[in-house]
Chain A
Amino acid sequence: MTKVRILLVEDEAAVRRFLTPLLEGQGYGILAASTAAEGIRLSRSHNPDLVLLDLGLPDGDGLAVLEDFRSWSQRPVIVLSARSREREKVRALDAGADDYLTKPFGASELLARLRVAFRHTALDASGKPVFQSGALRVDLERREVTLSGSVVRLTPIEYRLLEVLVHRAGKVATQQQLLREVWGLAGDGQHHYLRIYMAQLRRKLETDPARPRYFLTEPGIGYRLEVVD
C-alpha cells in the first residue's frame, strides 16, 4: 500500500521538527518545504494527498500556494495560522482550504483534523447516504432527520443548512460559504439570517442549545458540525 503523503509547508524549523516524527509515526509520508516557492514546486512535482500550509511564510502569502494548488487539485488543504488572525483564516477557507489549526496546537488536535480531512463525504463511507453523529441521524436520500430515533421536522431552509453542514461534516464551514450555498447571497448584512437559522437548528436538535454538542460555533470564522461517536 502506498503511503499517504502529506506536504508540510512551514518555515519554522521547530514546528517541522516536531511534526515530522509525529506524522511519520502515524504512518504518513512527509514532504517538507520552508518557503512558498518551494511549496509550490514540491506540490507540483510530487502531487501530495494533503497539504499542511502555514499562512505566515516569509516569502509571501501562503495564500499563493493555496491558490496554485487549488488550480489543479481538489485534495484537502489544512492551513496553520497564529491566534486571532481570523480574517486570514477566513480568506484561506473561502479560497479553498478545508480546515484550519491555530498555533500553537497539540498533537491530538492535529490528528483529529487530519482524520476529518481524509474522510470523504458521508456518501462514500458505507455506500449509503446516511450521516450519523451521536444521537443525530440524517438520511440524505429520504431527507429525514432523527434525534435518538424520533423524527424532527425541519423547514426547507433549516434542512438545506443541515445538508450543507453534513457534506462538510467535521470540517469548518465559513459564514460566507454557508450563505452562498443556502441562500445564494454573496454580500454582507445577511449574516444575521445565518445565525438565526443556526440557533433554530440548535434549538431543535441539541439537548442544551447553549452547550451544543454537534453544531459548534467558531467565532469570527463560521460553524462546524462535529462528528461524535
Chain B
Amino acid sequence: MGEPTASPPGSLRPFYADLESRPASPPGPLAAGSPILVAVGSGTEALRLIYAGFRMAREENRPWVAVHVEVPPDESAEEAEMARQWLREAQDLGARPRWVRAPTVVLGLLEAIQTEPPASVVLGRSRGQWPWSRAGHSTYRELSLRRPDIPIRALDTEAVAPPAPRANWAEIAGTAAAASLILAAAAGFSLILPWGTGLAAGLISFIPAVAFVTYRWGALGGAAAAFASVLFFCYFLASPRHSFRVEDGPAALVFSAMLLATHRVAQLVERLEAQGKEMRRRQAQATALYLFGRTLARCSRLDEVADAVDRHFKRNLDVNARILVPGPEGWQTLPGGEEGPPPPGLDLLERFSKEADPLTPLELNGAFYLPLLGSRQFEGLLRLHGPARPGAEAWDLCQALAIQAALCLERLRWLTEAHQYQVESEMERTRNALLSAISHDLRTPLAAIQGAASSLLLQGGLPESTRRDLLCMIQEESTRLTRVLSNILELTRLESGSLRVQKEWQPLEEVAGAALRRAEICEFSDAIEVSLSEELPLVPLDGALMEQVLVNLLKNAHSHGSRSEVKIGAWMENGMLEMSVEDRGPGVPAPLKTKIFEKFFRLPGSTGGGAGLGLAICRAIVLAHGGKIWVEDREGGGSRFRVSLPAGTPPLFEPERAA
C-alpha cells in the first residue's frame, strides 16, 4: 500500500472543493425572500444551531445564511479553523457562508444584518455561566435592543466549558464570599418573614440557597452551606434567640431534619450535575466523531488523512498521533519528516495486533499503538504518545477515531487500485485497437508483395515491362509498409511518454527544408509553394519531430487534396510561431474537424495506407511542444492545417564583423 501518485481521474475527484467556489444548494424549489441569519461560533454548540437553521429555512422556505463573526485578538487559529469547518457544514446543508471581522460579536452581527436584512436571526445562548458573564444572553439582549424590528430566536445550548484552570486563591476567596452572600440573602429573607409562621418557613429560604451552592461548588460547598444555614437558623431564628442552645426536642428534630434535607438536596444536585457533565462529554465526543468523519470523507490522499488524524487527536485528546503504514520499502510514518525509522519490534507488534483483540492498545517504548483494521485487511498502525496517558473515557473515543481512520485508509487504497485498473484497461483498449489496425494495414501491402513476388517466380517468359511493373509494385508496397510500421511505433512511443522532446533553438526554414526534401524523396513535392516570413527568429523545436509533423501534413495535403496548390507558410504572431499547410482538396466537414486528429481515424473515402495515424502523431508532437494544432477551411476550397507553437525568447547572438 502506498499513497496514490497522481490525483484520481476526473470522475473520482474529491467532491468538496474550496469554500468560496462551491455553489450553495438551495433548500427548496422556491426558496426566495429574505434569508434566515444564523450566528455560528467556533464551539461545538454550533452544530445544533446549524441544524436548527436548516430546519427553519426548510419550514419557512427561505434561503439561509451562516455567519461567523471573528473578533481578531480573541480568536485563535484553532478556533478560526473550527469556525470554517462549521461554515462548510452549513454550506453543505444549503446555507451561504459569510465571514465578518468586527471588534465585538454584536457589531459583527449588526453589520451582517445591515448588508443583507434577514427575516429572522438565530443565536446561541449558553447557560451555566454567571449571569453577568453569559455571553449569549448579552449578545441576544443587545441585539434585540438595537434591532427591535427583527425577530431574534435564541437557542439554549449547553456550552462545553473549557477545561477549568487551577483555581487560584483569589478565585476561592471570591467564591466563598459569593456563597456567604447568597446565604446572607437567604437569611435576610427568612428574617423578614413575619414572626410566628414557624421554623418550617425558614427552611424555604435556605434549601434553594444550599441547592444553588452545591450546584456551583460541589458537595463540599453544599455541606458547608447546609451546616452554616443550620447554625444561622439556630442562632437567629429559633428561640431562644441569639444563642446556640437547643431547647426543646421538636426544635432539635427540626434542625436534624433540616440538615438531612439540605444534605439530600445537595446530593441530588450533585448527581444531576455529574449526569449533566457526562451528557456534555458524550455530546462532545459524538461531535468530535462526526467532524472527524466529515473531514476524512474529504481526504483524497494519505498525507491529508495523516494531518486530519494528527489535528483531531491533538484537539480532542491532547495527544500526538501518527499513522504508520507498511510499504514496499518498509514502514512509513505519516505525517512524516520528524520521526526516524520505526522502532524495532514493530513487525512483532503487527502480528500481535492481528491476532489479538483489535480494540486493545499495545504499549511499546512509551507510546501506545492501536491497529488500524479495515473491512478485510490490516491497513496500518496508529501511534499515540503524549505528555500524559489518556484516561479511561478517552479510550472509547480513541478507538472510534481509529476505526474511522482505518476505513478511510482502506478507501484510499481502493481508490488507487481503481485508478490503476482504469489506466490498465485504457492501455489494454489502445493495444487492442492498435493490433487490429496493424493486422489490416500490414496485411494489405504484404499481400500485394507476396502476389507480385510469387508471380515473378512462377511465370517464366513474362515481358520485361510486366516484370518491371511487378518489381515496382513490390518496392512501393514495401515503402508503404515501412511507413505504416514507423507511424505505429512513433505513436506508441509518443503516447507512452518514453520519447522526450528535445527542444533546441532552430530556424524554421531549416526544419521546413528537411521536410521538403523528404517529401521530394517520396515524390510528392511537385508544386509545393513555400512562403516563410522573412523575419522568423530562432524558435525552440525538436527538429526531428517537427520535421515529422511537416512531412505528415504535406503527405496529407498531397494525398487528400489535389496534387497542385499545396502551400506551406510560417509567420510570427503574438509571441507564437504560426505555421500552415494548405491544400485544394475536398476539405474537412465541420463535425470531423477534431475527430481527424484521433488515432486510426480516416476520412470516409480516403485511400492510402498509414493506418490513419499521421495526424494523431502530429497532434502528439505539437502538444508535447506545448502548442496547438487544428484545421480550418481554406478560402476558395480545401483545408488549412494550422500549428501554433510558443516561441519564447531566443538566446542572444553577437554577429561577427563583416569580412
Contacts and interface: CB of A to CB of B under 8 A. Distances in A.
Given A192-B653, A195-B538, A196-B538, A219 B514 contact: yes
B658 A220 contact: no
A192 B505 CA distance: 6
Interface in A12-49: none
A193 B653 contact: yes
B478 interface: yes
Contacts of A192: 504-506, 538, 650-651, 653
Interface string B92-108: 00000000000000000
B488 to A, nearest CB: 12
A52 B653 CA distance: 40
B490 A195 contact: no
Contacts of A212: 513, 517
A106 B475 CA distance: 9
A187 interface: no
Q: Main SS of chain B's interface residues? A: helix
A106 B522 CA distance: 13
A137 B497 CA distance: 47
Interface residues of A, number: 30
B543 interface: yes
B46 interface: no
A210 B546 CA distance: 15
B659 A154 contact: yes
A124 B478 CA distance: 40
Nearest to A200: B655
B580 to A, nearest CB: 14
A216 B513 CA distance: 8
Contacts of A193: 653
Contacts of B653: 192-193, 196
Interface in A142-187: 153-159
A211 interface: yes
A217 B513 contact: yes
Given A104-B482, A192-B505, A156 B659 contact: yes
B530 interface: yes
A218 interface: yes
A219 B544 contact: yes
Nearest to A157: B656
Contacts of A155: 656-659
A86 interface: yes
A194 to B, nearest CB: 10
Contacts of B478: 104
B511 interface: yes
A7 to B, nearest CB: 27
Contacts, number: 80
A214 to B, nearest CB: 11
Contacts of B505: 191-192, 195
Interface in B513-539: 513-514, 516-517, 530, 532, 538
Given A159-B659, A191-B504, A192-B651, A86 B516 contact: no
B442 interface: no
A196 B507 contact: yes
B547 interface: yes
Contacts of B517: 211-212, 216-217
Interface residues of B, number: 33
Given A156-B656, A192-B538, A210-B532, A202 B509 contact: yes
B543 A210 contact: no
A220 B656 CA distance: 26
Nearest to A220: B544
B569 to A, nearest CB: 11
A110 interface: no
Nearest to A215: B513
Given A202-B509, A211-B513, A217-B510, A153 B490 contact: no
Contact of A211 (B530, B546, B547): B530
Nearest to B650: A192
Interface in B465-507: 475, 478, 482, 486, 489-490, 493, 504-507
Contacts of A218: 514
Interface string A188-229: 000111011011001000001111100011111000000000
A100 B556 CA distance: 29
B543 to A, nearest CB: 4
Contacts of B412: none
A83 interface: yes
A210 B513 contact: yes
Contact of B516 (A153, A154, A210): A210
B510 A199 contact: yes
A71 interface: no
Interface in B392-439: none
B122 interface: no
Given A210-B512, A217-B510, A84 B532 contact: no
A191 B653 CA distance: 11
Which 4 pairs across A and B sit closest by C-beta, in order of nearness?
A220-B544, A219-B543, A192-B505, A219-B544
Given A156-B656, A217-B510, 8 more contacts: A104-B478, A155-B656, A191-B504, A192-B538, A196-B538, A212-B517, A217-B511, A217-B543
Interface of B: 475, 478, 482, 486, 489-490, 493, 504-507, 509-514, 516-517, 530, 532, 538, 543-544, 546-547, 650-651, 653, 656-659
11 contacts: A84-B490, A104-B478, A153-B658, A155-B657, A191-B505, A192-B650, A192-B653, A210-B516, A211-B516, A211-B517, A219-B514
